A and B are shown apart, each in its own frame.
Chain A
Amino acid sequence: MLYRIEVYFKKGIRDAKGENIKKRIKEDISILVKNLRIIDVYTIDADLSKKQIDLLGENLFANPIIQEFSIDFPASVLAGDFDWLVEIGFKPGVTDNVAKTAKGAIEDILEKILNGKVYTSKKYLISGNLQKKDIEKITQDILANELIQRWLILDKKSLEKKNIYLPIPKVEIPHKPVIKEINLNVSDKELLRISEERKLALNLKEMRKIRNYFSNPKIIKERQKFGLDKKPTDAELEVLAQTWSEHCKHKIFNAKINYKNEKGKQIKINSLFNTYIKSSTKQLQKKLNWVVSTLWDNAGVIRFNKDWLLAIKCETHNSPSNEEPYGGAITGIVGVYRDPMGTGRGCKLIYGTYGFCTGSPFYNGELRPKLHPKRLLEGVRKGVEDGGNKSGVPTVYGITFFDDGYIGKPAIYVLAAGLIPFKVSGEPGYKKEVNPEDLIVMCGGRVGIDGIHGATESSMEAGEWISASHVQIGDPFTQKKMHDFLLEARDSGLYKGITDNGAGGLSSSVGEMAEFSNGFELELDKVPLKYTGLDPWQIFVSESQERMTLAISPKNINKVLKLAKKHDVETTVIGKFTNSGKFYCIYQNEPPRQKRGVPSGKFFRRRKKTVTYMDMDFAHQGVPQMDIEAEWIKPENRGLSEPKLKKIQNHTSFLRKMLSRPNICSKEYITRQFDHEVQGTSVIKHLVGKDSDVYSDAVVIKPVFDSQKAIAIAAGINPKYSQIDTYHMASSAIDEAIRRIIAVGGSLREIALNDNFCWPSPLLSEQNPDAKYKLAQLIRANQALYDYTLAFKTPCVSGKDSMSMDGTVKDVHGQEHRVSTLPTIQFSAVGKINESRKCITMDVKNPGDLVYVLGITRDELGGSEYYEIKEKIGLNVPKVNSKKAIKLYNALSKAIDEGLVSSAHGCYKGGIAVALAQISFAGGYGLEIELKKVPTENLRDNDKILYSESASRFAVTVSPENKERFEKMLKGNIFSKIGYVENNEILRIKGVNKKIIIQENIYKLKEAWQSTFKNF
């Protein structure tokens, strides 16, 4: 029986969400809606009585104080006043979290297992003077995303005639699972066709290597014993495609490169990763005793204190976020949580951060991306909000960066960190152990065809029952339960090996863990499925979310299953680890009735089919190395030069304009919608100052209640400098990340980094003629990473690269354009702080305090905000002098540690002018500043002193009684007192010729800084 329960607000009750949508329709697409109300629809497909449905309406679905409900009767009729109705529901196969919860809740009330399904949808009742095309635009641009949803638009008249409902998204795959064998003894052309048809993304060299392996007589003989022969199965090919993918094997970072460098000399680089990143990290790991585990596990691990280790991992989720921003970002954040959860013996999550690089939300140009950057930004924001908040992990820090290059594809960063006990059951917490005979156990969510990379195309043709399979929606609730369960299992010593199911699904997670024992036997029919009809290979590579894989000794399995039951986490034994050296999967066509728990003793003797039988070594190490070319082109040869600009006429209004720039201004609405304080560990919040609304350089948390030890968290990013030289882009980003940590009280003694490269493809093709230069840009960024991480002694303990930051976007005329992003790296930093009570914030504190600028200001405005306002790029990109920076940072750290500094703030985008304005309006006091006193390298130009973006500088305030000690401590560094904190509300800056050039009320400046995103 199908029942529809429709829930709506009583008359007079405010529909806040409806009002919000109405506002967005007006602001984003300029359509005036008179009224918009939302009705929640729950469709229950189960054998229940009308009485039971009534009970559910009353006791579950409707809030009796503010809502009413109807059963099988359109609530819209009751609501009366509307012109149009839009009903939006999910497409088949898309995760419906609310429906999942509803099913469980119904079972609680009816006290029985519900033999049926629940679906949710929403109805929007819209009134106003609107045409059908308006409603279609509202639906497509604001309410729904056709990738995951479908809808029905009705006007009131046709609704009066009869009730039309959206069909329920029932998944029925009319397919009997099969294992196919694929003949690779074919021509090269045919090999490539197979790769393309199955979307394997394997090149000819790789396809040949696979063919040769399976043609080896010795291998054939072995395989024949298991019912296979010289043809690989579909699963084997898919697994190799996954394991050998750019995503998993980082083929570009591991390629052999022929590089014509900046001096025109040809040099050879064998693996960027080994030469620069790994080499630097490993050198530093030898020197620094707090670096514990790097570059092999799901996250990097450093020492937090004597009892705890800290694991950190930053990921990107760019392509999914580009298509379905909410789904992409929530899957991204919930997914990156599983990295620390699956590191060593498993972490307790303690914080997350975000980085949203998108086109300008105010974009008004020729291009017509499928989703406007404003909508994309709101989608990813909401995704991280739900993913973070519902996981109980504070989202403490984040950045936004806008550039229209991201209209092709956004860079969406998500970072997670957690604590592992230093010792778990007497063994090091960062190590894993997987022994032969350990059971392979999967826990968390079930497996569907989600995230099978394009592989379901053939199924798609058959009808609508499968939606775009690689768009997923994360389920933080399921994962939170699993997280609680895993922590208890860890602390009870119930497992020794754990990893997450991310890219490649079980094929990766089991494959990676099996490297410890050297082999596995996996029974794919044991894997719990969301619905039937999946082929074995699909079960094996599906990327369905919220799953972890554990290695559990048979003696502990009953305890594990009992604990899982307490936490209501589905947990299933799906095979065992072996030392056979083989990558071995089987499948039984008619699976026995699912019995949770231990497999019966007879299990391996039952009739079964082999799905994969390969050498572990071949799967993991077989991928051939790529050969690619790179050539650097100097910025001068790319037509870049320093512009000659007219002097700024009105400095005060220019400063206001600068403060309101999207890459400088406040985005408080984002910060506030993230729960950044859950867990009770917050020490320095992202928003600080007199009114708690100006950004701190970094945030600080104190993750262990009984300890004053803390960690500072920040990130550095400035892709604009890539326009000139990626070497300096990377070094500036490293410097910024570090400087932010120093500004709140951290020190160079213990700062670890995460590098996240987001690069336009450096592989040559017809559409990508300048690939060689892009690869050279990548090399230069790597060289900077090497040079500066070694100099600062800040190792990259983990990282990730995303090497296809290109997209095709239509313009207003329907013409397609390839849009590539700027080469982008986000460096995420964490710094250890020994005493949380010594941390400081950037807001000025007391009138009378002295204002200092530390570090030298040079003629370095290349890629700056100032030049961008003038539509120039320039040539003089900021360069980091690490030697001088280190000396300064150490001195400042010491001064902060000794309590001599009232406030410290780095000078970043927008230079000294922006920094001074921010510290002043954050603290609520005016400043009296003389630009002439700013230490510069022969700069006499007010405009340049104010807006140069030279690296490694701070604006610092010090109380007069600490002046002497502070200056003594800074001795030998470049710094200068440039003015005072005043007991008024005026920012007054005198130019080099002592004339007042800026005089403005600080709250007016603040208003400008806050105005840009005020209506978001």
Chain B
Amino acid sequence: MKPKTLILYGYGINCDNETQYGFKLAGAAPEKVHINELINKEKKLKDYQILALPGGFSFGDDISAGKVLANKFKYNLQKELDNFINEGKLIIGICNGFQIMVKLGILPNFGKNYGEEEVTLTFNNLGRFEDRWVYLKINQESKCIWTKGLKKIYLPIRHGEGKFISKNKAIREKLKKSEQIVLQYSNKEGNFSSSYPFNPNGSENNIAGICDKTGRIFGMMPHPEGFLFPQNHPRWTREKVKKDEGIKIFKNAVDFLKNC
């Protein structure tokens, strides 16, 4: 059975088609669903095994990126979302989707303060939007099921508000200790780097992606769906590029559900 995957779209989300295609290549059964279809109960979140919140500019990034769509969930679908998470299903948020997740407080979710904002993503240090490819190192100790078997990955970031900040030192430490940091910006050689452009936005601890305590809920700023084909790689005309780099993240989710 191909896992049913809900690809959220509408209201300014704009990576829905390639995220859907990525999940399709990975062996899932993705379907685009508008949040109003969930609110009107024409579609039900519980009918899906994976929820993907793609990148884009929901509500034009107005007020604060992801905030307004997060509120739409919070004030209309909180119960359905809680159930989805409690049933052990999978969620991935990419870029704007990640911003929505931290603003909903479903990440990092150490357990106690679920639903509370403990970390945020804010304006890049340069104060501007940037589209560039970044090297990412993957925390081998992390429980994240989405990155299993991956050591490093090269992906594009395309955001203006991607700087990761924890609420305080305690949260910062906790994230580290609980191994919920999944992706970190690094240099080409695979060493952590906090200098621009390797860390493109000034994120603390070079954080590019985190998961919840179970490893099933995952948010990341870079775009795996921006690397569906070898030709998406910026240097495929001069370097050997492996197939399916970006899709591995989606495949891991499909494999995880198969083995469940």
Contacts and interface: CB of A to CB of B under 8 A. Distances in A.
Interface of A: 13-14, 16-17, 19-20, 59-61, 63-66, 97-98, 100-102, 104-105, 108-109, 111, 385, 389-392, 475-477, 480-481, 484, 565-568, 671-680, 682-685, 687-690, 692, 702, 705, 836-837, 839-841, 843, 845, 923
Interface string B47-83: 0000000011101111110011001101110000000
Contacts of B158: 389, 675, 677-678
Contacts of B122: 13, 63, 65-66
Nearest to B238: A845
A390 B63 contact: no
B130 A97 contact: no
A104 B56 CA distance: 19
Interface residues on B, range: 35 or more
Contacts of B120: 63, 65-66
A65 B117 contact: yes
Contacts of B68: 60, 101, 104-105, 108
Given A16-B124, A16-B126, A692-B133, A685 B234 contact: yes
Interface stretch (B4-12, B140-148, B175-183, B213-221): B4-12
Interface of B: 9-15, 17-18, 21-22, 34, 36-37, 40, 55-57, 59-64, 67-68, 71-72, 74-76, 103, 117-120, 122-133, 156, 158, 163, 165-167, 202, 223, 225-226, 228-229, 231-232, 234-235, 237-238
A566 B18 contact: no
Given A679-B15, A680-B225, 6 more contacts: A108-B72, A389-B57, A672-B132, A679-B18, A692-B234, A841-B238
**Sorted from nearest, which 6 A-B pairs have the closest CB atoms?**
A392-B14, A680-B18, A16-B127, A477-B60, A101-B62, A65-B120
14 contacts: A14-B125, A60-B63, A65-B120, A65-B165, A66-B122, A392-B13, A477-B57, A481-B10, A679-B17, A679-B18, A682-B231, A687-B234, A692-B133, A702-B231
Given A101-B60, A108-B71, A675-B158, A702 B229 contact: yes
Contacts, number: 188
A105 B67 CA distance: 9
Given A566-B34, A692-B234, A692-B235, A97 B125 contact: no
A412 B59 CA distance: 27
Nearest to B76: A108
Contacts of A837: 231
Contacts of A477: 12, 57, 59-60, 62
Contact of B129 (A65, A66, A675): A675
B172 to A, nearest CB: 12
Contacts of A672: 130-132
Contacts of B232: 677, 680, 682-683
A686 to B, nearest CB: 10
Nearest to B11: A481
Contacts of A923: 238
B71 A484 contact: no
A678 B14 contact: yes
Contacts of B223: 677
A97 B63 CA distance: 10
Given A61-B63, A66-B122, A477-B59, A680 B228 contact: yes
B131 A677 contact: yes
B260 to A, nearest CB: 28
B156 to A, nearest CB: 6
A89 to B, nearest CB: 16
A63 B121 CA distance: 10
A97 B131 contact: no
A390 B96 CA distance: 11
A63 B126 CA distance: 19
A479 to B, nearest CB: 10
B123 A105 contact: no
A109 B71 contact: yes
B164 to A, nearest CB: 10
A528 B109 CA distance: 45
B236 to A, nearest CB: 8
A836 B40 CA distance: 43
Nearest to B21: A705
A680 B71 CA distance: 28
Contacts of B17: 679-680
A480 B237 contact: no
B126 A392 contact: no
A680 B10 contact: no
A1014 to B, nearest CB: 13
A702 B12 CA distance: 23
A63 B67 contact: yes
Given A680-B18, A692-B235, A59 B226 contact: no
A689 B123 CA distance: 29
A390 B57 contact: yes
A690 B126 CA distance: 24
A565 B34 CA distance: 11
A673 B21 contact: no
Nearest to B72: A108
Contact of A102 (B12, B62, B202): B62
B36 A566 contact: yes
Nearest to A18: B127
A746 to B, nearest CB: 15
Contact of A19 (B127, B229, B237): B127
B75 A108 contact: yes
A841 B237 contact: yes
Given A20-B128, A675-B158, A705-B21, A101 B59 contact: yes
